[in-house]
Amino acid sequence: MNSMKYLQPMTFMHGDVPKRIVAAALFASAFVISARAEARNEEPLAASLVLHVTATEAARPDPTLRLTGRDARQQLLATAKLPTGESRDFTRRVAYEASPADVVRVDNTGLVTPLRNGKAIIAAKAASGLSATLPVTVEQFDQSPSVNFPNRIVPIFTKTGCNGGGCHGKSAGQNGFRL
Nearest to 113 by CA among 84, 151, 73, 143: 73
* 38 in any annotated domain: no
Host domain of residue 111 = 48-139
Tens of pLDDT, residue by residue over 60-75, are 567 889 999 998 999 9
Question: pTM for this structure?
Answer: 0.60
* 173 in any annotated domain: no
Looking up residue 118, the CATH number of its domain turns out to be: 2.60.40.1080
* 56 in any annotated domain: yes
pLDDT at 14: 52
Tens of pLDDT, residue by residue over 114-144, are 999 999 999 999 988 889 999 999 999 998 7
* 107 in any annotated domain: yes
Burial of 64 (0-12, 13-18, 19+ CB in 10 A): exposed
Query: Per the omega criterion (within 30 degrees of 0), is the bond before 135 cis?
Result: no
The DSSP letter of residue 178 is -
Residues 6+ positions from 160 with CB-CB distance below 8 Å: none
Helix and strand tally (H, E) in the chain? 2, 10
* 171 in any annotated domain: no
